[in-house]
Every structure is written in structure tokens, then in C-alpha cells.
A and B are shown apart, each in its own frame.
Chain A
């Protein structure tokens, strides 16, 4: 069965500092990986996705993620965090295909201090 682990429940960083959110997955085939962000009271917004090709993918809002097959990881990074990045971040894994079911991690809540 597929699964996603986000080991950090809560992270606090200072504005302007770099950020890395960890995501480890378990999947039997080639994974389709996503990062979503959720602001309070809102739905989930896609930050970026990876299926194949370049293992470093760029997303919206200055975020990027790197797929490392040997480590089963898909960590999210941002070089300089802004106060508006405070939110909850979810990693998800699934298969290619319209009927694919996505499995989500439990999320990492990011707090940004000024």
C-alpha cells in the first residue's frame, strides 16, 4: 500500500531564512508526487508536481522540490521564506492515471517569525 510520511508536524523559521520540509513516500511503482499548501479556512492549492524528467521541479511562490528515488524522498524547499508562507503543507503520492487515488501525508504546519 502507498503511504506518505511527513516527519515534522510543526516548523518555525524566521522570515528570510531558508526552508526545507521533508516528505518520504512508500510506493511500489513509479510515483506521481505533489506538494499542496493550505491556508487557514481554505482548500488545498497545488504548489508543484513530479512524475518524470528532471528530478528538481519548480513550483509556484518560489518553491521547489527534489525527487530522490534512492531515498524515497520528495522534500520541499524555499531559499527565503516570507511571512505569507505561513500555512500547512501536504505531500501526496499516487499513480499516473485519472482514476489514481492520492495518499496524503499528515501535513507540516509552518510558522514564520518576523
Chain B
């Protein structure tokens, strides 16, 4: 999945800890988004951005913050991790109105 880099690949947190999931792209796409994937629930949109300085909520935004200061980066912040946030997180970008989403390889997060 060249073009979208997610770090870290794996992370274990204790309840109440904070962390930032990183997403970086080198394709100069305006649209960036975060999804979480849970068994039996498909992918659900957390937050998205249509350009630097512009962010909006998706389907499941509670417990997550985002900001977009540059075109390249779209970090996802968990301010106080909860076990319900145990999931696989995917960053996805989109080049234009007729373009599909292009996904990173994901970050597997476990909150104990």
C-alpha cells in the first residue's frame, strides 16, 4: 500500500493512557480519513478531512481527536484510551471525486 504509511503497526495501551496514531501520505491527496475495523462490524468512519485545516466527524467520533495541519499528515489522537477502543485502525486517502479510497496497512491497538 505505497503512498499511505501508518505507524505504529501494533500498540498496547492501558486504560486511561493517551497516544497518537500516525498517518502520512506522499500522494498529495486532499481527502484523508480514519476508519476502525471490528469483527462483524465492517469498517466505520471515525473522522475525515478534505484538506489542511478542515476536519469533520464520521460515524463513531467519540473518544478520538484529529487535526490536519499539513496535506501530508492526519494523526488520530486517543486522549484517554478505553477497552472499547481496542480495534484495527485504518487510514485512507482519496484523490478526487471519482477516485476510490486507498488504504494504509493498519494499526492494531489493544487497550487493557
Residues of A near any B CB (own CB < 8 A): 4, 9, 34, 36, 41-46, 49, 51, 90, 92, 96-107
Contact = CB atoms under 8 A, between A and B. Distances in A.
- How many interface residues does chain B have, given as a range? 20 to 34
Interface string B12-39: 0000000000000000001100010000
Nearest to A106: B42
6 contacts: A36-B103, A44-B92, A45-B103, A46-B100, A101-B59, A106-B42
Contacts, number: 62
B45 interface: yes
Interface of B: 1, 4, 30-31, 35, 40-45, 48, 50, 58-59, 90, 92, 94, 96-106
Given A43-B1, A43-B105, A98 B42 contact: no
Contact of A102 (B40, B45, B96): B45
A97 to B, nearest CB: 5
A43 B90 contact: yes
B100 A49 contact: yes
A98 B31 contact: yes
Secondary structure at the A interface, as helix, strand, loop or mixed, is loop
Given A42-B105, A90-B42, A105-B42, A99 B31 contact: yes
Contacts of A4: 42
A98 B100 contact: no
Contacts of A34: 100-101
A101 B97 contact: no
B42 A107 contact: yes
A44 B90 contact: yes
